[in-house]
Amino acid sequence: KSTLVVAEHNNETLNPLTLNTITAAKKIGGDVTVLVAGTKCGPASEAVAKVEGVTKVLVAENAAFKGFTAESLTPLVLAAQSQFKFTHILAGASAFGKNVLPRIAAKLDVSPISEIIDVKSEDTFVRTIYAGNAILTLKSKDPVKVITVRGTNFPPAATSGGNGAVEQAPAGDYASSLTEFVSQELTKSDRPELTGAKVIISGGRGLKSGDNFKLLYDLADKFGAAVGASRAAVDAGFVPNDLQIGQTGKIVAPDLYIAVGISGAIQHLAGMKDSKTIVAINKDPEAPIFQVADIGLVADLFKAVPELTGKL
């Protein structure tokens, strides 16, 4: 057994999700090789080499990997695969991993396994279906398993203690004429990333407007928390989609999740019900969010949230 983990990074730093993915790779067993492909990704590859449990780091620096497009990364991974014959190819279940890994799987003619939450054995994996309303355990019949990993279900690997051997990935002409990366417009924020935050304050349609999310930002400041939203709040145009928590947004599992003005639609619960402690503030006592909340407060959020912020 040997696993290739496709690292997610911005050339400088490693996305923490890669550490969770390395843990999943270790659970499968065998050697763990991490591929770091970028334009000037020296710092990211040095960080990977130190991660506990990493056997080898394959580094590929090439202008072709600007924007980390699936069209340029796929031939690189295929070249590495034909050289090293990995039994498993993994990446985190982020926008990056979900974009790239199915393209690789199709080229290998295997059926990829999306967003696993557990590893039962080298060929048997657990994942959620129907927005988390059912848990599927499946056995893959394919010779190579191509898998994305849900970060919240695997603890991060330690960022020190490892001593991976750094090697060059197979060289090649990876530039693709199909796609050109133009730009990224990232939401600027001093707050923690949603998927890594210890505390999340999340708002729904009950907030009534985007401006009213200020109430949540004020509360979040007290906790050093991230701010998220339900799909209803995104649909209503209150906040951008990158704040969306749920089946079709981000999956989170913080220590504390405070749901404000969120009714608790199935697809929202799918994204947050693994949080350690859930607090719900909603004026409707019948809201389904109260069925999963550890602490429920039936109240008008426009009074309760400022009062809570004031008392912390």
Partner 1 sequence: MARVLVGVKRVIDYAVKVRVKPEKNGVVTQGVKHSMNPFDEIAVEEAVKLKEKKLAGEIIAVSVGPAQSQEVIRTALAMGADRGVHVEVSAAEYDLLQPVHVSKILAKLALDEKADLVILGKQAIDDDANQTAQMTAAVLDWPQGTFCNKVEKTDAGLTIVREIDGGLETIKTKIPAVLSADLRLNTPRYATLPNIMKAKKKPLKKVTPKDLGVDTSPRIEIISVEDPPVRQAGAAVADVDALVAKLKAGGHI
Applying the rule CB under 8 A, the residues between 50 and 79 that interact with partner 1 are 67, 69-71, 74
Q: Does 175 bind partner 1 (CB under 8 A)?
A: no
Q: Does 141 bind partner 1 (CB under 8 A)?
A: yes
Residues 86-105 that bind partner 1 (CB under 8 A): 94-96, 98-105
Q: Which of 164, 279, 282, 287 binds partner 1 (CB under 8 A)?
A: 279
φ and ψ at 68, to 5 degrees?
A: 50, 50
Q: What span, in angstroms and rounded, lies between the C-alpha atoms of 145 and 149?
A: 12
Quick check: 5 and 91 in contact, CB under 8 A? yes
Q: Which of 165, 171, 175, 266 binds partner 1 (CB under 8 A)?
A: 266
Q: Least distance (Å) from partner 1 to the CB of residue 186?
A: 4
Q: Does 129 bind partner 1 (CB under 8 A)?
A: yes
The residue among 55 and 111 lying less far from partner 1, judged by its C-beta, is 111
Q: Does 190 bind partner 1 (CB under 8 A)?
A: no
Q: Does 171 bind partner 1 (CB under 8 A)?
A: no
Tell me the longest C-alpha to C-alpha distance in the chain: 62
Q: What span, in angstroms and rounded, lies between the C-alpha atoms of 292 and 280?
A: 9
Per rule CB under 8 A, count of chain residues that contact partner 1: 93
The residue among 59 and 259 lying less far from partner 1, judged by its C-beta, is 259
Tokens representing 104? Answer: 């690789």
Using the rule CB under 8 A, give the single segment among 25-33, 37-45, 200-208, 249-257 that binds partner 1: 249-257
Q: Map residue 46 onto helix, strand or coil.
A: helix
Quick check: 287 and 266 in contact, CB under 8 A? no
Using the rule CB under 8 A, give the single segment among 55-63, 154-162, 166-174, 176-184 that binds partner 1: 176-184
Q: Which of 133, 165, 175, 209 binds partner 1 (CB under 8 A)?
A: 133
Q: Least distance (Å) from partner 1 to the CB of residue 167?
A: 27
Q: Does 16 bind partner 1 (CB under 8 A)?
A: no
Quick check: 170 and 136 in contact, CB under 8 A? no
Quick check: 41 and 6 in contact, CB under 8 A? no
Q: Which of 27, 253, 297, 302 binds partner 1 (CB under 8 A)?
A: 297
Show the CA angle centred on residue 248, arms to residues 140 and 10, nearest 5°: 85
Instruction: Kindly state the helix (H) or strand (E) to which residue 124 belongs, with its residue range.
Output: strand 124-129
φ and ψ at 294, to 5 degrees?
A: -80, -35
The DSSP code for 14 is: B
